[in-house]
Structure 1
Amino acid sequence: MTLSSPDHPENPGLPQVFRDWFAARGWQVHPHQRAMLERTHDPATLLIAPTGGGKTLAGFLPTLAELADGTHQGLHTIYVSPLKALAADIRRNLTTPITEMDLPIRVEDRTGDTSYSVRQRQRADPPHILLTTPESLALMTSYEDAPRIFAGLRRIVVDEIHALAESKRGDQLVLALSRLGTLRPGLRRVGLSATVEDPDAIGRLLAEAPHTASIVHADPGPPADISMLTTEEAPPWAGGGAAYAIPAVLEEVRRHRTTLIFHNTRAQAEIFFHNLWLANEEALPIGIHHGSLSREQRARVEAAMVAGQLRAIVCTGSLDLGIDWGDVDLVIQVGAPKNVKRLVQRIGRANHRYNAPSKALLVPANRFEVVECVAALKAVAEGRLDGEARGPGPRDVLCQHILLTACAGPYDADALFAEVRTAGPYAALTRAAFDDCLQFCATGGYALRAYDRWQRIRQRADGLWELRDPRTSRRIRMNMGTIMDTDTLKVRLRGRGGMPLGEVEEGFAATLTPGDTFLIGGEVVRYEGLREMTVEVTRRPTQPPRIATFMGTKFATSTQLSDRILQMFRQEDWPELPRHTADWLRLQREVSHLPERDRLLIESFPHDGRNHVCAYGFAGRNAQQTLGLLMTARMEEQGLNPLGFVATDYATLVWGLDEVTDPAPLFSRENLFEGLETWLAGNAVMKRTFKTSATIAGLIERNTPGKRKSGKQATFSSDILYDTLLKYDPDHLLMQITREEATRGLVDFGRIEQMLDRIEGRIDHAILTRVSPLAAPMFLEMGRVPIKGRAEARLVEEEAERLMEAAGLA
């Protein structure tokens, strides 16, 4: 490529020093990087490029080119990342070209890990490029001197924008962008992502409403080399540990330079790492990385990865996103991926180079996950990503934004309303809904207006709104954010200055007695006691561990994958499946039916002296769990005496004293949702949802100056508030928000309604004399087997054999 002129069509706007730097390395500017240079002055641009395709450089090239002459003073570009570690990685990567080209550019990061003194210096003397997170950006907009801090800001780059779009962190970010748009009119916005299922939707999220971003598509590169791991031993009938695959996984680790071994939950990652290490007779260097480990331990693992010192890293979503971790040449996904987009993101961690195919293996944890893995492989091959449409911007996040805006100084409500409506998710926000949020921040709502603590803002005589007491700004800032992580306790080794190991859920810590052992960071530790809200432990490598219950999402299978599985069930045979799994499905078809997309399969059968009914809704774990609550409520009304239920992603199994002879009334829309409001109001899910929304909206404080509430204290406070509002002000703003969040979130009513729409009352009722092959594994989900220490594997195996024999599978 000729690099002779800054105006050369292949190098628009690139200064000579850049062209020389590229030429010295024999590099060429990729077409999508050229396109980003050409669109430097577009108001909003979304780049969709494969992992390893140079997205980050494409996003930063216009910034580096504009700053190269050294004339710009102050902050020029803000880079926003979902992960603190990703911001730190980008800083390392930017340092190389800046240093080698001797550019007069200062790059710094600002996250929750940045010291107070550095944050203060950055406010007084901002760097040219600031790398940060949505939370830190929102915090910066709340300072009185925000207009001065952002005075020279020209561009904002949002990396991995798809990940932010899926949660309230995305809503928090776009509200901060709306604030920046007021402080710096003409601010250019850039979004970067490798996995976008709906580019137009992300384009609308990124741009200033009612506009949308221009979209640049990079060459997607060669298809991934992805398959299912072949093992000598068949997967078990149930469970999520995939211990059966340890020998095969260890062999793959030996054959590759660096392997990332992804898990869907932190607890599963700990179990797998422990088992992998026990089998690692060659002492291959293997690490573990997840969000519940201490920052120090994560940093050590990250440094070892970058240095190429680890052969494998067992990890979770903490390594999902675009960090360039050394020479990774294989990704292994343990457990069904649940979501195609997440799988593609993880696959991209391998061979992090442009136009080099990524290599990945799927390891199903159990027999049903074999089917899901095959469905996911087909979706990846077809390039079909999945994603659920998001609703309007949540009002609890808007309440937080109103309070943060007040921290920066007095504002006009009309102007703030107009500003908020430039944020895509809030473009359709009504003035009445905005005023409800404003009044909530001013009074706490009708039932709470008598309490001074919730009267945080007021309207002045000139019509402007301001903080009632300027001193509350500190408390508001201390409690901002949308990530809920209050119910954890730190874990440290006992002793003066004991090393931090990570954190465990408070509920798990409450079950511990001195002498109990558990896993954290791959180590077996012994619980010694609780001291000042810290779990103190000692190392006990020779004792069998319990497993800590770590925070983190238990993903539900996406609608696309559920539909693909149901399509597979329509096949006459399954040559793409291993024989053991295909035989299982054939027997299910002989004994009962295979579920169909437009019909609801209900099975009734006796087992162990109880009557069982199994509903195959394929609606995802949350929805199937909610379906169990609704089914048992209806069965109770009909005098069928239900005793309990268990739910998976694909079915709900209920057991009780009496036989269900006619399931149709249980699943009519009218009967299923009758009394739903009453049921919801008294359900623990609602209280949990209320606590989350009330914390985000600022009604409940997570942190106060000098101390931090425990999860129990916060829950106790939120329960009292919930009961008070339910009784005296059931239409309170926070109660409205709670109902909205619960129905579309934790209990997933939307997918139940989709299921009911899909089947249109068509129900297949199979009355069986014994447990069906498809229902049999669900009995292993119930926890009926008393699992203790080293007897676990044997007990599960014996119970599985008994169940499969009853189902005709042995």
Structure 2
Amino acid sequence: MVVTSARLYEEEKVLEALNPKLRQLLIERGFKELTEPQLRAIPLIIEGKNVLLIAPTGTGKTEAALLPILSEMLSLKDEGIKLLYITPLRALNRDLLDRIKWWADKLGLKVGVRHGDTEQRERYRQSRDPPDILITTPETFQAILSGRVLRKHLRHVKWVIVDEVHELAEDKRGVQLSLALERLRYIRGGDVQVIGLSATVGSPEEVAKFLVGNSRDFKVVKVDLRRGMKLKVVFPKPNAIDAKLAERIYVHPEVAARLRYIKEIISKKRAVLVFTNTRSMAEILASRFKVWDSTFPISVHHGSLSKLSRESAEEGLKVGDLRGLVCTSSLELGIDVGRVDLVIQYMSPRQVTRLVQRVGRAGHKIGLTAEGIIITSDEEDTLEAMVIARRALKGHLEPIKIPEKPYDVLCHQIVALFQLKNKWKLKEILELYSKAYPYKDLTESNLIRLISYMHERYPRLAWFGKEDHVVLKPRRVRAIYEYFFSNLSMIPEEKQYLVIDTNSGNAVGILDESFVAEYGEPGVKFVFRGSLWRIKSIEGDRIYVVPVDDPTGAIPSWIGEEIPVPFEVANEVGKIKSLIEELANEEEELIKVLSAHYPIDRRHLKRILKPYLNHVRRGYPLPTDRRVVLESHGNYVILYTHLGTLGNRALARLLADYLAKRLGTSVGVQQDAYAIILQSPTKLDPLELKDALINLTKYEPLEVLLRSVTKLGLFKRRLIHVARRFGAISKDVDYSSIGLRKLVEMFRGSVIYEEALKEFISKDVNLEVVKDFLNKLKKGELELVVNEAEDLTPLSELTLRRISQRLEVVAPERMERLILEATKARLLSEVRTFLCLDCRDWYEDLKVSDFLQYLKCPKCGSKRIGILREGREFLDRITSKKWRNLSRKEKEALSRAKALAELIEKYGAPAVVAGVARNLTIKQIESICRKYSELNDGFYLEIINAEREALKRKYW
């Protein structure tokens, strides 16, 4: 970077505004110059402005916000918390503490961290001697605001920093935070200065308003350092080597080709992040690498793993023990994993913002290029990835939509006001909370409706005088406190369901609530862990299934986790198909045009274009952004539309309801961003579907959907989540124990029903897109074509092949071997804390495979080695107490560790491996060790069966 005299002068001015102690520390910390975000943000923060700072990862955003605040803080004499630093993830708190503590220690300031796992001793210390800077999460901030002692310390807060603000702005966690900030202002009797930090924001002005509140001034500092993001889309072609590898690890050759490509890249780099779109896919991908080569330095990272496993993976990449991490959105945010050379996105990222956020983790230093590769799974996936990559390079991010005045959050925060005083006027509450941006349009009648519900329900959450508009704290204080503290988190608790093979009685695994809500009905076929199943019945939290052979119409079990593809992306894919049709007889020109606009080379383009070109050249109509195509195959009709995930989901529900009424039989639907598949017990006529589409143009989509919404599992899921947040039903209630009709009858006409409907319409479907689609169909701006080909067209072949490969079904005869190899790889890769219970001087976080090389304490030689899941920090605390005055949790963990140590001393390696299996009791572990003295196939099969039984026991 060339440093001009003007820039030097600007930097001097900024530095002069900082306290001299800080200027000295900048030199000590190794700052040679301030970064662009720091130069632009520091003066504004010193002036007292509210600031939203948007800048790439690794450009010093934290210091840009922190340095001017520390500078001002040094002149303050009063006690109490002065800066609240709020992050969406606990894991970020850990990294931030180390980073902020360096500055604070040098300046004589105190820093604390507060979250759900903070020990009672530390909480007590913070109450007696509050830190100057408190790092916390939105949920813990709620709890702190409610505590009598800590609330007094919050009166001194002058600054609030909200990190990764984009992660909060779009959901109810963020809405809850915006109201909590208004309560903080009320407690202090004045305003606070708010600084938001983010690497990617699609709607900066909107997010800034969300951050600071309604009608307050702010400045947006957007620093586009143009680190030269470099992207390319790759569609690996399988070769003879891949065919052999596929046989060995029981996958399709196409999957083997992708694995080989990833392994080749990682082998040439120091540190690579491999992002997947779901936890399930992250587990599958990491497992396949372990089955292929157990020594390959790659691990997995996602939110469902234990803290120890995640931290071990982060540290492994940072220090170089690992060269690759397969991860999900858990590593999109700024968790420190050291320098990342390259980001691989496995399959299309589905959204532009996701891709930009993920690829932004690479380079992680000013001036370095952020490099990313998208590895795609099929032709449609490749077209989608091409569009997303182009939009990312142009900076076309999806806009952020802030929820509009959600009633469930407001109900919770009205109850929170009773912790400040017992009596409120309605206008006081309206004036206070309408300052929060999500509630800018909150009216008195909205508020009366909500508080009337809080008054009329049992137990009451508020007492409301309808004549004088006074809101009082109810007499049953215990009920409102139970409600408040059990609903601190706005993140819906996703119930899990045990899947049981009816024929064998074996536990197959666990399905998430999101999948069960949309697809959990008898007769539905789905793929789970490489096998095909059909749902026979659902009883409580157990799903009984039977194995099937035919994959047609089967749904991937991880589809509930999927990120929705926006309409804009799907529509551009349709435009590419339109161009393919236009230049079908000029293939070289087509490749030239596409390669000029999209980051993909000619070789990959030529391969993905082949099925589409074949389709057009054989005279079949190709679905595009201007043409809708219907095709029939057996009992299925495929409707090809480019409306995106939420648009097609809405249209699919409208069609299914219309056809069911017209035909007098149920119609099953599934959809992705580009097609809707409809199935009926009797053969569906595509002309019938064409008529249905034409007839739907006569109606308002919302009215049609509202008539059938109460039949939809997705709406039921929203209704249960909202009712839980209102405290109207228990958090343990599942779908099968409450019939949808009964649930609807209970809440119809209430604020609960209204809020659930609002959430469903804004999150699960896109009615605006459908409305526009139907209008264009009505005006003749969209062509509607029925393809009456008797044989499979190239497009339908591609669609069916996509479904088959996407499901990645494994032949039953190979499945047992694959499960065996995957279980071996998983158990040997598990990370635990190993502890010598004789000398107590040695404890270390290790992979099981590494410890098996020791099998004894490296310090004293003892074989009495205990195993803990909790990690080194847990043992550090125990050691600091000299193993005395232990909590119940600490005693229980040590008791199990001691029992395992006895088995390890007696049986050796089998006890170590069985000791890290899932949910096994000490008795089960000993039983397995008695049968097997070595780690052979029989041993691992015994563990597989024991884990299945343990899973059943957990849900019985």
Structure 1 position 714, deviation (Å): 4.3
**Compared CA separation, residues 51 and 639, structure 1 to 2 (3 A):** same
What is the TM-score with the length of structure 2 in the denominator? 0.70
Structure 1 position 400, deviation (Å): 1.8
Structure 1 position 278, deviation (Å): 2.2
Structure 1 position 386, deviation (Å): 1.6
Pick from 665, 670, 673 the counterpart of residue 698 of structure 2.
670
* Partner amino acid, structure 2, of 1:471: R
Mapped to 2, the partners of 1:285 and 1:490 lie a distance apart of: 33
> Residues 351-370 of structure 1: matches in 2 within 5 Å?
351-370=363-382
Structure 1 position 107, deviation (Å): 1.5
Structure 1 position 189, deviation (Å): 0.6
Mapped to 2, the partners of 1:741 and 1:239 lie a distance apart of: 39
After superposition, give the CA deviation of every residue in 1:477-525 in whole Å (9 maximum; x if it has no partner).
123211112414899xxxxxxxxxx9974899999xxxxxx989xxxxx
Mapped to 1, the partners of 2:808 and 2:12 lie a distance apart of: 71
1:694 aligned partner: 723
1:601 aligns with 2:628: yes
**Compared CA separation, residues 648 and 490, structure 1 to 2 (3 A):** closer
> Residues 132-531 of structure 1: matches in 2 within 5 Å?
132-145=136-149, 147-184=151-188, 185-229=190-234, 231-233=236-238, 242-280=255-293, 283-387=295-399, 389-412=401-424, 413-444=426-457, 452-453=458-459, 455-459=460-464, 463-472=470-479, 473-488=481-496, 505=512
**Higher CA-based Rg:** 2
Mapped to 1, the partners of 2:774 and 2:419 lie a distance apart of: 47
Structure 1 position 732, deviation (Å): 1.1
Structure 1 position 584, deviation (Å): 1.6
2:918 aligned partner: none
Structure 1 position 307, deviation (Å): 3.2
Q: Contact (CA 8 Å) 1:266, 1:551: kept in 2 or not?
A: no
2:920 aligned partner: none
1:569 aligns with 2:577: yes
Structure 1 position 167, deviation (Å): 1.4
After superposition, give the CA deviation of every residue in 1:653-709 in whole Å (9 maximum; x if it has no partner).
22441422254432233358465333112322221110111112222343xxxxxx3
2:74 aligned partner: 68
Mapped to 2, the partners of 1:504 and 1:604 lie a distance apart of: 32
Q: Contact (CA 8 Å) 1:286, 1:313: kept in 2 or not?
A: yes
**Compared CA separation, residues 655 and 486, structure 1 to 2 (3 A):** closer
Number of aligned residue pairs: 728
Identity %: 24
**Compared CA separation, residues 322 and 759, structure 1 to 2 (3 A):** farther
Pick from 628, 635, 644 the counterpart of residue 659 of structure 2.
635
2:620 aligned partner: 592
Q: Secondary structure at the match of 1:645?
A: strand
Q: Contact (CA 8 Å) 2:273, 2:340: kept in 1 or not?
A: yes
- Relative contact order (alpha carbons < 8 A, sep ≥ 6): 1 or 2 greater? 1
Structure 1 position 580, deviation (Å): 1.8
Mapped to 2, the partners of 1:471 and 1:284 lie a distance apart of: 55
2:795 aligned partner: 774
Show structure 2 runs of 5+ residues with no match. 244-250, 500-508, 522-527, 531-540, 543-554, 584-589, 596-603, 819-956
Mapped to 1, the partners of 2:181 and 2:201 lie a distance apart of: 21
Structure 1 position 744, deviation (Å): 2.1
1:661 aligned partner: 687
After superposition, give the CA deviation of every residue in 1:184-240 in whole Å (9 maximum; x if it has no partner).
31200111111112211112111221235211122423211221236342999x999
Pick from 88, 92, 100 the counterpart of residue 86 of structure 1.
92
Q: Contact (CA 8 Å) 2:14, 2:42: kept in 1 or not?
A: no
Mapped to 1, the partners of 2:609 and 2:572 lie a distance apart of: 16
**Compared CA separation, residues 745 and 775, structure 1 to 2 (3 A):** farther
**Compared CA separation, residues 51 and 490, structure 1 to 2 (3 A):** farther
After superposition, give the CA deviation of every residue in 1:703-754 in whole Å (9 maximum; x if it has no partner).
xxxxxx3xxx34466x36x645633662111111122222222244343234
Q: Contact (CA 8 Å) 1:690, 1:735: kept in 2 or not?
A: yes
Pick from 11, 15, 21 the counterpart of residue 15 of structure 2.
11
Mapped to 2, the partners of 1:276 and 1:122 lie a distance apart of: 46
Q: Contact (CA 8 Å) 2:84, 2:160: kept in 1 or not?
A: yes
Mapped to 2, the partners of 1:241 and 1:426 lie a distance apart of: 50
**Compared CA separation, residues 91 and 423, structure 1 to 2 (3 A):** same
Give RMSD over aligned pairs.
3.7
1:527 aligned partner: none
Q: Contact (CA 8 Å) 1:146, 1:408: kept in 2 or not?
A: no
* Partner amino acid, structure 2, of 1:579: K
Show structure 1 runs of 5+ residues with no match. 445-451, 492-501, 512-517, 521-532, 535-546, 703-708, 796-810
After superposition, give the CA deviation of every residue in 1:34-89 in whole Å (9 maximum; x if it has no partner).
33221124342111111111111111112221233573421011111111111211
**Compared CA separation, residues 380 and 550, structure 1 to 2 (3 A):** closer
Q: Contact (CA 8 Å) 1:743, 1:750: kept in 2 or not?
A: no
Structure 1 position 147, deviation (Å): 4.2
* Partner amino acid, structure 1, of 2:673: D
Structure 1 position 355, deviation (Å): 2.1
Mapped to 2, the partners of 1:5 and 1:16 lie a distance apart of: 17
Structure 1 position 146, deviation (Å): 5.7
Structure 1 position 781, deviation (Å): 6.8
> Residues 35-114 of structure 1: matches in 2 within 5 Å?
35-40=40-45, 41-68=47-74, 71-99=77-105, 102-114=106-118
After superposition, give the CA deviation of every residue in 1:260-304 in whole Å (9 maximum; x if it has no partner).
1100000011110011222236x1322111111122322222333
After superposition, give the CA deviation of every residue in 1:360-384 in whole Å (9 maximum; x if it has no partner).
1111122211111111221122121
Q: Contact (CA 8 Å) 1:587, 1:773: kept in 2 or not?
A: yes
Q: Secondary structure at the match of 1:603?
A: strand
Mapped to 1, the partners of 2:65 and 2:48 lie a distance apart of: 13
Moved more, 548-557 or 571-580: 548-557
* Partner amino acid, structure 2, of 1:670: K
Q: Secondary structure at the match of 1:302?
A: helix
